[in-house]
Structure 1
Amino acid sequence: MNIGCNVRARRGKPLFIAGKLVPAFFTLLLCLAAGSSPVRAHPHGWIDLRSTVILDAAGHITALEQEWLFDPLYSTFVMEDLSGTAESQRDALTTLAGSNLQELRSYNYFTEVRADDVKIDLGEVSEYESELRNGRVWMRFVVPLATPVSPTLKTFEFAVFDPTYYTEILHLEGDIITFRGDATGGCFGRIMPPNPTTEAILLAQTMDRDATPDTTLGSVFAERVEVSCK
């Protein structure tokens, strides 16, 4: 499949650029300029994800570190207005990441965390960076938990997804969940693939970019990560 509106068959909310949502019509123009046919079905963009679970000295989960690798179309659009040295581009991309993360705060950074199936509040991201990697925009940021969670006493689960499924966010194929901290021994993360119903698949396949967003769709197509520690 051509690099354009929908680079992968697997591969929602419009992407953020300079703190503003990318208009759907502009994305369509980019696709046409790239020589690909506009695709109506969701998703319209994708992000490769890597996750690291951060624990404190007591073995409590305190934060989730995420790495997002944006699709080539978004990356090309962002880089069109950036020039100069690699260092200046990295500074500009990190500034952009800060603006994007401010917007994403209202959506919990597309991150849902549960302990014993109870949703956990998230803190505000203060640690982040961004740069260009092999022609694609890469962003790393740390989402703190408002309250640390003991993975030995509670069932811990998290998911990263765009609620509208405009952008698909999935871990890299064959990737594993990593852990960082003083008490990571015996910890394991299991990535559970999505299992959408036939009805949900058909709905995603028929949704236009300009359709009223369905904020329940992204959860249906989201991976779930179960974390356990001994």
Structure 2
Amino acid sequence: MALQLNLLHEQFAEERQRQRDPLKLGVLILCGLGVLMLAFYMWKAYQTLEMKNRLNAVQRGWEQVEPKVTAAQKRSLDLTATIDTTRVLDTLIEDRFYWGSFLERLSRCVAPNTQLTSLEGSVSDDNKVVSVTLDGIAAGGEPRAASEEFRQLLLEQLHQSYSEVKVEFKTLEDLDTSVNIAGSNMATAHFVLGVSLSPLGLETAKAAAVSAPRAPKK
């Protein structure tokens, strides 16, 4: 039987060891990467879970607050509607035309020899123009002159309270009938007056005219 001696045992062992080292290193690197990836995914999972918990907490808080917010919004809408309605009513009250003042000034102009048979009046939708039609009879030695005197007096009275006042005859004609005034028979004339005016007071009208922008001169 032949005896074999391995005199290069140490060299062979080192060679085999070197051959195994790259494999071990690769395995170790893969294991390290696997551990890092596992840690990364665990960290992301933790962050996701924490965000879900925060979202759930916010949703629970919103569910508690939402009825109050909805009620507050509804209350705000109701208050806004009430305020708007109040403003409209205030505007209507402030801008409305008071016929009492007009009739008072009209009554100051009606002399004993003048009689009004009808009165028709209207106010524009924007409350800026008042139109009145007066139908009446004037008596006197010169009934047309008496009618003109009534027109002039009414124009002066209305100018004291209103702006853009116009008082013009629509009809002025002599009548065949006469009336007895203070024991004297007087001829009569029939007249129809058209009155137009702006309810805006004189001071307000002047202020509006001053504040209105003027066109540049060319």
Higher relative contact order by CA 8 Å / sep ≥ 6: 1 or 2? 1
TM-score of the two chains, using structure 1 as the length reference = 0.23
- Give the number of the structure whose residues are more often strand, by fraction: 1
Decide which structure has the larger Cα Rg and report it.
2
- Give the number of the structure whose residues are more often helix, by fraction: 2
TM-score of the two chains, using structure 2 as the length reference = 0.24
